[in-house]
Amino acid sequence: MNISMPGETISSKRYESRVGGKGANQAVAIARAGGTIEFCGTVGKDGEWIVEYMKKHGIDISGIIVSEDETTGRAIIQVSDDGENSIILFPGANHSELHEKRIALSCQLWFPEATHLLLQNEINYQSTLTSLFKAKEEGLCTIFNPSPMLSPAQIHAFLWDKVDWLLVNEGEAEALYRGSCTGSQDSTALRDSQNFSTTSVKDGIASLLASLDAFKNTNIICTLGADGVLAYLRRSDGNGSASVYRPAARLQGIFRDTTGAGDCFTGYFVSGLMKYPPDARLGGDVSEEDIARILEVSNQAAGMSVERPGTIDSIPTRDEVEQRIN
């Protein structure tokens, strides 16, 4: 099958419906990693099978709203015979305002015992901001994976000081850096962003991002695909940062399906962080070695998801990951 061009109607050979979306993938990864997780979001009545799937994986689904008059968000993925993807995102109930109304009405976030809040950028923007704000008021640790990327205007207005951990892949790091520099008063940052292609070192973009004022209190984790991961850790006393690099896991077998590797990484990373207090910082409750260990386990889990077909179904359990590491 080829991918349809404008004006063209083509027929597919096969059709499959799978559970997905960054939020669902990352929640399942946290559950498989052994973390306790409540999922918050909105689906339509057509999405109840997805809620069932999450429940089966041990995810607390009491924070899910089923909207009477919205349709569940979907990604419609065309896969050509040679494996190339073309994706149409339909946000549907993901962009519902019901969730934000619920947060605004209740005096706290949804989960009284929550210690960490993990956000993607797949719900409506205002809900993301409101959730972040409430979470910091309640002393939660906040982790943000801005995917899909915010617009430049949103990047400038974003509450970055409320983000404890920023999780990005290289493409997202670059988009975030360029977006931050667009219209920036900082001429050095702007010049650097224009000369970006000359920056050849792998960690170029992540260190540029870490140098921006907006992220001065934010720990940055930048995944580098087959090259592993680079972390910039902020010290608890506010005195600079330390970087920790961990190479990717060595893969077994020849199969490669990288879709969702980032979500698997994120879930394992967050479940690792959840073993520490919400306000854990370098020089406080966590050491470079602690973070290096979490990165290693997360790389191993993500690598195993690459070895297996599928996205959400390819996320390994903690036992499987530990067997491979030890």
322 binds Na ion (CB under 5 A): no
The site partner of 299 among Na ion, ligand ADP, none (C-beta below 5 to 8 Å per kind) is: ligand ADP
Is the Cβ–Cβ distance between 196 and 232 less than 8 Å?
no
Residue type, 184: S
303 binds ligand ADP (CB under 6 A): yes
Footprint on residues 39-58 left by ligand ADP (CB under 6 A): none
Footprint on residues 111-150 left by ligand ADP (CB under 6 A): none
CB neighbours of 182 closer than 8 A, spacing ≥ 6? 152, 193
The site partner of 221 among Na ion, ligand ADP, none (C-beta below 5 to 8 Å per kind) is: none
Euclidean distance between the first and final Cα of the chain, in Å?
A: 43
CB neighbours of 248 closer than 8 A, spacing ≥ 6? 224, 225, 226, 227, 228, 229, 299, 302, 303
> Which residue number, 27 or 224, has a Cβ lying nearer to ligand ADP?
224
320 binds Na ion (CB under 5 A): no
| Shortest Å distance, C-beta 187 to ligand ADP | 31
257 binds ligand ADP (CB under 6 A): no
Do strands 141-145 and 74-79 pair parallel, antiparallel, or not at all (unpaired)? unpaired
The site partner of 167 among Na ion, ligand ADP, none (C-beta below 5 to 8 Å per kind) is: none
Is the Cβ–Cβ distance between 110 and 13 less than 8 Å?
no
Is the Cβ–Cβ distance between 23 and 53 less than 8 Å?
no
Structural tokens at position 136: 């910091």
| Shortest Å distance, C-beta 259 to ligand ADP | 7
294: nearest Cα among 30, 24, 27: 30
The site partner of 92 among ligand ADP, Na ion, none (C-beta below 5 to 8 Å per kind) is: none
The site partner of 257 among ligand ADP, Na ion, none (C-beta below 5 to 8 Å per kind) is: Na ion
Structural tokens at position 300: 């191993």
Q: Which stretch binds Na ion (CB under 5 A): 36-44, 108-116, 146-154, 313-321?
A: 313-321
Residues that bind ligand ADP (CB under 6 A): 169, 223-226, 228-229, 248-249, 251, 258, 261-262, 265, 299, 302-303, 306
